[in-house]
């Protein structure tokens, strides 16, 4: 199989070679010429026993790479993603602004909502700014907040010892701001406000306001939100109705099924660290949820999304691969484990995928060129100030 190359024209195939490649959904047809992308040509050399001919001389893989890498420094990362998807017997093609996919409606997950109907509190909590914790010694109210709403921790975690309710920063803020809890600051020996508490914490902890807003989104929808420290994330999430006093298995301790990581638009994470948190969650059978503040139009950037990717479909009793006639399912962005990605970049990719009627996949290349895929499915949460996505470890 022969591909021709010209520095000005590009890469193309003709005749029987073009027919064979076209039948396998390579390239773009223009008259009798089938034009190919650099990653397609690299794949043909690497795994299809093909050749690239330049003025009668065969070019090797490294020569084709060298011809295009100066203008496309991410070409090798893109090639690895392309190669892996093709090796699974699936079709993958360059995505452009005209690409439109199959319906995404089934991929938007509506989460249930249960209003947090806690009555106004006529109580006072003692606030310790150094530990960022509050203490409530009203035992009746403490038991109600802990048992009915799973707010704070009475005594020792998972044990029936102790009677004092300890509330973390998020819980004190929520009860003060939304349910009238009064707060007495031990350091200043006077009553304080939720605004003052937030000011203190924000000076010490980056993105405190952003994390608190995500906490409020879920709490006011009836969800239980506790620390996700053990799982390498910000929060663990329990669906409405969960309680430490009434587990789902005969009164034993109930376990969370979801974890939430808040991704501020100003923050950038190393891809390998982000992927590690997702893997930890999946390793303990929890759904990983990513939360991002809603952006304004001026916040979005044109972050590159590389490919439109296809899966398989059921035809009778058999599974057959989809073709361009079916329309793609995914917008695939290729990244490496050494790259950083920020909240703005990820939100921009998600917006682009939604506009193209596609679901977003991140294809992560590790140092040994193995590929891991993560699909992002949007969550619909009532009156949320953030956008939320389930992150699914995908096996194409």
First to last CA, the chain: 28
Tell me if residue 255 is catalytic: yes
**Residue for token pair 């909590």:** 125
Q: Which of 54, 124, 178, 255 is catalytic?
A: 255
Q: Is the CA virtual torsion 13, 19, 21, 27 positive or negative?
A: positive
CA distance 258 to 238: 7
Tell me if residue 238 is catalytic: yes
Q: Which of 79, 111, 238, 388 is catalytic?
A: 238
CA distance 67 to 52: 12
Q: Which of 234, 261, 286, 352 is catalytic?
A: 286
Pair of tokens at residue 133: 């914790």
Q: Give whole-number Cα distances, 10 to 59, 70, 264, in Å.
A: 13, 15, 41
**Residue for token pair 């503040």:** 293
Tell me if residue 286 is catalytic: yes
Chain center to CA of 311: 20
Strands (E), 119-257: 124-128, 133-136, 153-154, 165-168, 182-185, 190-192, 224-227, 235-238
Active-site positions read 238, 255, 286
């Amino acid at each position: 199989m022969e591909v021709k190359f010209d520095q000005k024209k590009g890469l193309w195939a003709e005749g029987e070679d073009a027919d064979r490649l076209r039948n396998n959904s390579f390239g773009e047809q223009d008259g009798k010429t089938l034009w190919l992308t650099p990653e397609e040509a690299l794949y043909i050399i690497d795994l299809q026993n093909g050749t690239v001919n330049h003025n009668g001389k065969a070019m090797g893989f490294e020569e084709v790479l060298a011809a295009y890498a100066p203008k496309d420094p991410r070409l090798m990362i893109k090639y690895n993603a392309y190669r892996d998807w093709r090796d699974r017997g699936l079709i993958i093609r360059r995505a452009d602004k005209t690409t439109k996919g199959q319906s995404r409606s089934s991929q938007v997950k509506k989460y249930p909502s249960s209003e947090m109907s806690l009555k106004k509190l006529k109580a006072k909590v003692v606030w310790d700014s150094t530990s960022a914790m509050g203490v409530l010694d009203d035992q009746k109210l403490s038991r109600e907040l802990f048992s009915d709403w799973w707010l704070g921790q009475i005594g020792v975690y998972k044990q029936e010892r102790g009677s004092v309710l300890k509330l973390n920063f998020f819980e004190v803020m929520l009860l003060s701001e939304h349910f009238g809890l009064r707060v007495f600051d031990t350091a200043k020996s006077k009553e304080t406000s939720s605004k003052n508490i937030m000011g203190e914490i924000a000076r010490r902890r980056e993105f405190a306001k952003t994390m608190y807003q995500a906490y409020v989104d879920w709490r006011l929808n009836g969800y239980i939100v506790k620390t996700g420290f053990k799982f390498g994330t910000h929060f663990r999430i329990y669906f409405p109705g969960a309680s430490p006093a009434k587990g789902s298995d005969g009164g034993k301790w109930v376990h969370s099924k979801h974890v939430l990581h808040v991704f501020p638009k100003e923050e950038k994470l190393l891809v390998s660290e982000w992927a590690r948190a997702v893997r930890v969650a999946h390793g303990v059978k929890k759904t990983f949820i990513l939360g991002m503040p809603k952006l304004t139009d001026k916040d979005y950037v044109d972050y590159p999304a590389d490919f439109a990717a296809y899966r398989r479909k059921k035809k009778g009793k058999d599974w057959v691969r989809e073709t361009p006639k079916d329309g793609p399912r995914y917008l695939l962005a290729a990244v490496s484990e050494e790259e950083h990605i920020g909240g703005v970049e990820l939100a921009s990719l998600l917006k682009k995928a939604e506009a193209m009627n596609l679901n977003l996949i991140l294809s992560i290349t590790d140092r040994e060129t193995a590929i891991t895929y993560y699909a992002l499915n949007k969550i619909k949460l009532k009156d949320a100030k953030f956008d939320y996505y389930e992150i699914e470890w995908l096996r194409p």
